[in-house]
Structure 1
Amino acid sequence: MVWNRPFSTIFLRVRSPLLVVQRILPHFFLPTDFPLRCGATHAQLIRGAQEASGGKAVGRFFHLYPRRRLRLVPWLARWIRKGAVPVATMNMQVAVPDGEEVPDAWHHQLIFGVAPRAVFMTNPLDVVGEVEVHQRLCSQSVLLVRREDVLQRLTTDGSLSDLSQIQSDPRWRLLDVEGEAAIFLPQLTPTSDPPCLIQVFCYPGQVRQMRLEEELEDGPRTAHVSIPAAYSSGVTLFALTGSDVAQQLLKAPELPLL
């Protein structure tokens, strides 16, 4: 597929927001689209491809969560043979090999080919097992934030009760982000405040020292806080506008639920 546009133009058109590292809680999790600061969603990829190609490219996203009645490799092979270009939106925090650190983000990877029980991908160039890819493509819209990233942003006036109040997305309450984050903190609650307000009256260095002492005493603690993600796991298929495969993509039904 050739769009006659320089790569830099395509990159800029995606308009992936830059990661803004907030220094304090709860503003570290702001705004509501916090995960968007770390990358682009499939909708942004589709818009970027359309703009960069001058309307010559069209994309269609297929949700793979909740789990679908699908054999991944044969399904991808059929669309690739027709001329479509698949881009996977995967939760890289799922199916992490033993001994490896949990990544800090979701990821988009272009799929340029498949083989029995294997998927060939770029960004980076890799061959990944079908089962592993399918697991990452079938994930809830959740992002894991490292415990250390939370602890480093504690302040003397930080209140976790704001986490649920300032977020309009009800998933923040359903995931109990405030409760998860509170587990990380030294339980120093002033008697003048309501029990739900957990505040920290020490410097970050003291917090880290207390954390180490707690782990020595009680063992390792939970490593991450789960927050709602703007991403959806699945596959975006791109094709030339007006082509037969583009028409098939736009008319294709959603994949049936398992």
Structure 2
Amino acid sequence: MKKSLSSRLHIISLGCSKNLIDSEVMGGQACASGMTIADSPHDADVVIVNTCGFIQPAKEEALEFILALVEEKKKPGRNLKLVVAGCLAQRYGKELLAEIPEVDLYVGTGEVGRIAKHLQSLNTTKPRRAAVVSKPDFLMTAQHERLLSSTSATAYLKISDGCSNCCAYCAIPSIRGSARSRQPDDILWEAQKLAARGIKEIILIGQDTTAYGRDLKNRPKLSDLLSDLASVSGVRWLRLLYTHPAHITTDILEVMADHEKICRYIDLPIQ
């Protein structure tokens, strides 16, 4: 029988909305393991800093949070466990372990689904500081409970992870792995679960949402997914983020025009 965790956990989520969902998944797993959520790092026994490691300002922000928490650990009588997760840990985990050894554990993006196990390891008599940087192949499903970070009626829904565009200027494929799409039925199930929790606006995200389905055998189309999501009862608005200008197709525009629930809004980079 797995030993339940009774510690208080605080999660600091940095960077993009995709990282935020990873934080919500980690929070859901931690709560399922018996942990409770602390509103402040000062009230927590364990703090996870889920980092961004994409651009220089994001790296600097993450390091500021980490170093501030290292100082918190040093306070007399403070038995704080510090975990650094996410993109910075995936990209520089081994180097960070050597440079900032006060951190108890570094875990990369591939370890999101195993965070409860990693948190459990911190409770051993002599926990070993480590950097667990595995293949970045984690892909959440609707079976992963999310601890929603907002009390608003809006929530993100990740339809895919990773990217296979391999642009010369971008490190995302090495941090997040190749493009991996969720099955349409699984996405619809999560949308229904979100609607049942009172969510009215669902924002679809991924590293490249317009590349959705290209990696799956049945090659589902984003336009069909949008049409199916528009039929979910209780959802009033659908919004599409992280599109790619080279992958916008006529059928996507047509389905946006056909459904009032789909916002007339396209988020895309111009570089």
- Structure whose CA Rg is larger: 1
Normalising to structure 1: TM-score of the pair?
Answer: 0.31
Higher relative contact order (CA 8 A, sep 6+): 1
Normalising to structure 2: TM-score of the pair?
Answer: 0.30
